[in-house]
Amino acid sequence: MEQIANLAKSYCGKKDALIQVLHMSQTIYGYLPMEVQQIVADALDIPVSEVSGVVSFYSFFSTQPRGEHTIRVCLGTACYVRGGKKIVERLQELLGVNVGDTTADRKFTFEVARCIGACGLAPAMSIDDVVYKQVDPDKLEQILARYYQEGVSAS
């Protein structure tokens, strides 16, 4: 918290620094709970409501702890039509969380996306920067297992 306060204070008076400070704060703390938002607001001398408004508006900010890996299932038109919803349902079962949540072990944060650019090979999902194409719900356990194995490349 002290590191975030010092960082934010160094940007005090810089009108357009809020998003940059929030990005750096999220990198340091991992997410942006209200305590972190209050520190940023105090250090930048702006209302916490302004900070909170920016945090809640942009999807890349999180107010909840995030997982080590982020799973995004594409629900764009092609992926949805070709079974994207089944991928979502199976992942909810396997992970024990709903869309937008993080697993209890903080291994995965589970999200959906409008399009990840793999329409021709739908349904698709990504885990961090790795895109999985033509995903079969029955193969999800194997895909997730790679991320649980220490020191094994996910790709």
Contact 69, 77 (CB under 8 A): no
pTM, whole model, 2 decimals? 0.71
Label residue 150 by pLDDT band (50, 70, 90): low
pLDDT of residue 14: 85
Give residue limits of the domains in the chain.
2-57, 69-148
Q: What is 47-112 written as a DSSP string?
A: -HHHHHHHHHH-TT--SS---SEEEEEE-SHHHIIIIIHHHHHHHHHHHT--TT-B-TTSSEEEEE
**pLDDT tens-digit readout, 53-93:** 999 998 789 898 889 999 999 999 999 999 999 999 999 99
CA 144 to chain centre: 17
**pLDDT tens-digit readout, 89-142:** 999 999 999 998 999 999 999 999 999 999 999 999 999 989 999 999 999 999
**pLDDT tens-digit readout, 29-48:** 989 999 999 999 999 999 99
Fold of 69-148: Glutaredoxin (3.40.30)
